[in-house]
Amino acid sequence: SDVAVPLTALDTIVHVQGADGARSIPLTEFYLPPGDTPHVENVLRHGELITAIEIPLLAEGARSHYIKVRDRVSYEFALTSAGVALVIEDGLIRQARVALGGVGTIPWRAWDAEDVLRGARADAGVFRSAAEAALEGARPLPGTAFKVELAKRTLVRTLETVAGALS
């Protein structure tokens, strides 16, 4: 889902209730990769219901943005998407949260990209390095190799948009 990508970047927590009680699940742990049970998409147990979605407040001065790229203007699924939240002070990235969509079966938290960004200058070179880190080791399926470069460009543009809003 489109909304899952920015919510993943925002450290969203899913609250659920079931016969065994309540529990809280970070969204980064909520969705399951296909594995041996592709029909099981999330960690909800039988009889559990989502009761709340908690989006923690961003740090003061944070800015965020989401970009979705699709084949045509419609209700089309994203070819790729990026959700970003940054705190930039004096040209340096103090906090970074990055998630990608359309690069796998679940929203992808780009921890490696965040590591590249944190403490670095907010500039195009760093943004490109972060995009490279986010997609390093990507193994596209036949016919989807173009999505790797598209995802990198989408992430760079999203980072530039957020950084531009902070200038």
Q: What's residue 165's pLDDT?
A: 66
What pLDDT, in 10s, does the model give residues 26-83?
Answer: 999 999 988 888 888 999 999 999 999 999 999 999 999 999 998 877 777 889 999 9
Domains identified in the chain and CATH numbers:
7-54 (no CATH), 63-166 (3.30.390.50)
Give the type of residue at 58.
L
Phi, psi of 20 (to 5 degrees): -90, 5
